[in-house]
């Protein structure tokens, strides 16, 4: 950081209300909307930021159009794999993605994710809603440490955007 | 109805809790699960029961597999059209369908629909969850008269199954 500058590192904000079946994640990125959109829809960019820092992510599929499938595989250092997949309902560049999401370690529990990108001058506000099939599913996701993984993802995304 | 018989006409039940973003619809059909599943995944059957009685429904697309698109068009007697579309996340015969759903008259509002079919001897219990992107979206769907249309759909489906 330059001498005299104050930190402008944004933090990721969460709204997780008791008894609700939604998680809302908000983050402001110091990058134009087109670039943030690209980071969500181009495999080589997704692999650089998706997931906790100690995991590597491989994009198996990312077909960013209505009906297009996606599948990401995370690997830790011990040979464990964690895979996620879903399908895109809608993809409107550079604004909006709606997709389903299922962790293959817990099949049959599906959520729907909406990513909205709002322009703020040269910055972009990401507002992501995840809606779950039940409050229990939502609470299970929170208990699994989702927030720590998401914090890492959002911080890594900010770093990737700063270098892009 | 035969003389002396009591009505076994099932009713459709709804759970619509205040402040929640879900609707749960339950109905028991006097038909085996395979047939009910077929009624959800075969265009010619869907056209016989989907929507209010005074509308006709045409299945434009119904590709019942992960990533498969669906689109239904309803027409009233005055030439008005109402279309709906979405994408299948998962389709597991004869048990389970998860799909997104968007009314084209209100674009950008998407819900995720889960249809579970549970065998009850020769009958089948349908449990359908719809989860919305917000409580406001859910309340808007309820205010639009969704329940009357759904009652018609479920009654018509029972009639189609009885004839199949």
What's residue B85's pLDDT? Answer: 98
The span from the CA of B148 to the CA of B151, in Å, is: 5
Task: Tell me the ipTM for this assembly.
Answer: 0.90
Q: What does the pLDDT read at residue A9?
A: 58
Chains A, B: CB pairs < 8 Å: 69
Instruction: Identify which of B21, B86, B131 has the shortest CB distance to residue A89.
Output: B86
Alpha helices in B43-87 (DSSP H): 43-49
pLDDT, tens only, A111-147: 999 999 999 999 999 999 999 999 999 999 999 989 9
Query: Which candidate in B61, B85, B99, B100 is best for mutational testing of the A interface (most A CBs within 10 A)?
Result: B100
Residue in A with minimal Cα distance to B100: A89
- Mean pLDDT, chain A, integer: 93
Mean pLDDT of A36-64: 97
The 3-state DSSP composition of chain A as helix, strand, coil percent (nearest 5) reads 25, 40, 35
Please state, in angstroms and rounded to a whole number, the distance separating the CA atoms of residues B46 and B156: 10
> What are A120's strand-pairing partners?
A123
The DSSP 8-state label assigned to residue A39 in this structure reads H
pLDDT value, residue B164: 86
Distance from CA of B76 to the nearest CA of A (A): 27
Find out whether A54 and A76 touch, Cβ atoms under 8 Å: yes
pLDDT of A8 above 60:
no
Within 10 A of B6 (CB to CB), how many other CB atoms are there? Answer: 6
From the list B8, B18, B21, B46, the residue with the least C-alpha distance to B131 is: B21
Sheet bearing A69-75, strands edge to edge: A13-15, A22-29, A123-132, A110-120, A96-103, A81-92, A69-75, A56-62
Evaluate if residue A7 carries a pLDDT over 80. Answer: no
**Residues of B engaging A, defined by a Cβ cutoff of 8 Å:** 20-22, 66-69, 86-90, 96, 98, 100, 102, 108, 110-112, 114, 129, 131-134
Asked if B112's CB is within 8 angstroms of A112's CB, the reply is yes
Taken as a whole, chain B contains a residue count of 164
Residue B159 dihedral angles phi and psi, to the nearest 5°: -70, -45
Identity of the residue in B20, B68, B110 whose CB atom sits nearest the CB atom of A98 = B110
Q: What is the pLDDT of residue B156?
A: 97
Q: What per-residue confidence (pLDDT) applies to B10?
A: 66
Ordered per-residue pLDDT tens for chain B, 164 residues: 344 444 455 699 999 999 999 999 999 999 999 999 999 999 999 999 999 999 999 999 999 999 999 999 999 999 999 999 999 999 999 999 999 999 999 999 999 999 999 999 999 999 999 999 999 999 999 999 899 999 999 999 999 999 98
pLDDT at A10: 66
A164 pLDDT band, cuts 50/70/90, is confident
What's the whole-number mean pLDDT along residues A92-107?
A: 97
Contact B131 A133 (CB under 8 A): yes
Using CB atoms, which residue from A66, A88, A133 is nearest to B129? A133
Contact state of B87 with A88 under an 8 Å Cβ cutoff: yes
């Amino acid at each position: 950081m330059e001498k005299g500058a104050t930190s402008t590192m944004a933090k990721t904000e969460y709204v997780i209300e008791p008894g609700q079946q939604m998680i809302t994640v908000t983050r402001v990125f110091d990058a134009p909307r087109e670039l943030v959109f690209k980071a969500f829809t181009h495999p080589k960019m997704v692999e650089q930021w998706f997931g906790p820092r100690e995991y590597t992510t491989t994009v198996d599929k990312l077909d960013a159009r209505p009906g297009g499938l996606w599948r990401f595989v995370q690997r830790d250092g011990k040979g464990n794999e964690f895979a996620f997949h879903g399908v895109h309902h809608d993809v409107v560049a550079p604004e909006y993605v709606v997709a389903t999401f299922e962790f293959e370690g817990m099949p049959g529990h599906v959520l729907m994710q909406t990513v909205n990108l709002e322009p703020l001058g040269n910055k972009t506000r990401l507002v992501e809603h995840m809606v779950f099939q039940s409050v229990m599913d939502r609470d299970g996701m929170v208990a699994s440490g989702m927030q720590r993984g998401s914090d890492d993802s959002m911080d890594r995304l900010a770093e990737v955007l700063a270098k892009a």
